Amino acid sequence: GIQVEQSPPDLILQEGANSTLRCNFSDSVNNLQWFHQNPWGQLINLFYIPSGTKQNGRLSATTVATERYSLLYISSSQTTDSGVYFCAALSNTGNQFYFGTGTSLTVIP
Amino acid sequence: NAGVTQTPKFQVLKTGQSMTLQCAQDMNHEYMSWYRQDPGMGLRLIHYSVGAGITDQGEVPNGYNVSRSTTEDFPLRLLSAAPSQTSVYFCASSSTAGHSGRNIQYFGAGTRLSVL
């Protein structure tokens, strides 16, 4: 299967600060997604981004498929951004998603 | 439109007991899957299904059984619970199977299982 590594594992930000989360994957993918798990445990899809750049409000994501990494940018962070961010990858040859171990983000007021 | 519904939300079992975690989706999705989430390990795929009547093993299938008799339902069975199965379980669904087109996953709220 694909190895998915995320960094940093933990991040503490002051409200209003910006951050970049990274996801490296070990093989070619045609499906890469970012998820946010809120403090109550709910997982919400943020981006479907196998390649290129997308933006949604204060969040944006970029995947460089040829170099096997994806970045999630959070600008002007808010306390509601706290939680764990996961990336998940699906290989070109399989039907299984592989998740990274996540980045735990805490935004303090 | 309820999305992905998991029941129960919480469950405590004794070692050796059996139980079924229920998962239902009302979005007519082909692809459904079960994950377990353990501290520090992200989500790991247990079993998945690409359509009614078709299931396959994921990364950590031992100790779990699944079936997919309808498009809507994908139950996960623990035949003889063990303490190592203490975890949070998530069911997910997506419109298409595998790598054919967009495959955005929608997750249920999770089932927190403790095996004593």
The residue ranking higher by pLDDT, B103 or A25, is: A25
Of A4, A44, A95, the CB nearest to B97: A95
A90 at B interface, C-beta within 8 A: yes
**pLDDT over threshold 80, residue A66:** yes
**pLDDT over threshold 70, residue A9:** yes
Query: What pLDDT does residue B100 have?
Result: 53
| Beta strands A83-91; B76-78: pairing state | unpaired
Say whether B99 and A95 touch across the interface (CB within 8 A): yes
Question: The tokens of B23 are what?
Answer: 């998962």
- Sequential pLDDT tens for chain B (116 residues): 679 999 999 999 999 999 999 999 999 999 999 999 998 888 999 999 989 999 999 999 999 999 999 999 999 999 999 999 999 999 999 987 655 556 788 999 999 999 99
Q: Which residue has the tokens 């996540």?
A: A102
Say whether B59 and A48 touch across the interface (CB within 8 A): no
Q: How far is it, in rounded angstroms, from Cα B55 to Cα B83?
A: 25
Helix, strand or coil for residue B88?
Answer: strand
Question: Per DSSP, which regions of chain A are E strands?
Answer: 4-7, 10-14, 19-25, 29-37, 43-48, 52-56, 59-64, 69-74, 83-91, 97-99, 103-108
B106 at A interface, C-beta within 8 A: yes
Contact indicator for A97, A34 with CB cutoff of 8 Å = no
Of A93, A96, A101, the CB nearest to B40: A101
